[in-house]
Amino acid sequence: MTAAFDFLARRRSHPAKFFDPKGPVPSRQALEPILQAALRVPDHGKLEPWRLVVLTGSALRALGDIAAELAPDAEAGAKGSAIYQSSQLAVAVISSPKPSPKVPEVEQRASAHALCMNLVNAAEASGWGACWLTGWPAHDKAWAARALGCTEGEEVAGLIHIGTPGPEAPDRPRPDLSRVVEWRA
C-alpha cells in the first residue's frame, strides 16, 4: 500500500479554473469506475444517505444561469455562475439522510462529505484533475431545489469538478502538527 500512501501524502486538488478547457473529461464509461470507487464510503447501516447528479454541457450552464438569477447582487451572480460556465463535467453530491433510529443525521451527512473526498481522490488517482467546490449557490436552498432537485432535508455536500489538469496544481501551506494534534496517553 506504499503507492496509495504516497498518493495521499502528496495529493492536492487541481483547481477547476486551471483545468485545460480543450482537454477531455471522463466519458460515462470512464467515470463509472471512479464513481464505484468513491461510493466505498462509510454509509452507516447501508442507508446510502446521498445521491449523485452527473452534469455536463448545457446542464452545467443551467446551474450557472440559476445562480445568476437568484444572486443577491451582480457580483455574487457572476461569482456564483462562473465555474458552471467554464466547467465541462461536475458531479453533485447530495446529502439525503434517511430516517433511522440507529444512525444519527449528522453521521449520514458526514458520509456524503466522505463521498466528496473519495470522489476527488478516485478521480485524481485515475489521472484526472478534480476539485471539490461549493460556493454560495450550493448553500442556497432555492438554488439547490431548482438546480439539482433537492427536496426538504437534502443539502448539497459538494460539487466535484473533474477535467484534464492544467499546470501543476499549486500547493498550499499544510498544518503544523504541533498546533493541531493533541497526544494523550
Per-residue confidence (pLDDT) for residue 13, from 0 to 100: 76
- Closest by alpha carbon to 156, among 140, 169, 167, 177? 140
Q: How far, in Å, CA of 87 to CA of 130, rounded?
A: 11
DSSP secondary structure letter of residue 110: H
Is residue 13 part of an annotated ligand binding site? yes
Q: Check residue 10 and give its pLDDT.
A: 85
- How is the chain split into domains, by residue range? 9-166
pLDDT value of position 168: 77
Q: Is 12 annotated to bind ligand?
A: yes
Secondary structure (3-state) at 182: coil
Is 44 annotated among the ligand-binding residues?
Answer: yes
Residue 87 in marked binding region: no
Check whether 47 is labelled as a binding-site residue: no
**pLDDT tens-place string over residues 49-108:** 999 999 999 999 999 999 999 999 999 999 989 989 989 999 999 999 999 999 999 999
State which CATH number among 3.30.160.250, 1.20.1250.20, 1.10.10.10, 3.40.109.10 fits the domain covering 9-166.
3.40.109.10
pTM for this prediction: 0.93
pLDDT digits 0-9 by tens, 106-152: 999 999 999 999 999 999 999 999 999 999 999 999 999 999 999 99
Three-state DSSP at 47 gives: coil
11 is in an annotated binding site: yes
Query: What is the Cα 172 distance to its own chain's centre?
Result: 19
| 139 in a labelled binding site | no
> For 147-181, how does the pLDDT look when each residue is reduced to its tens digit (9 = 90+)?
999 999 999 999 999 999 988 767 888 899 999 99
Of 5, 34, 36, 39, residue with least CA distance to 163? 34
Highest mean pLDDT among 14-18, 40-44, 82-86, 94-98: 94-98
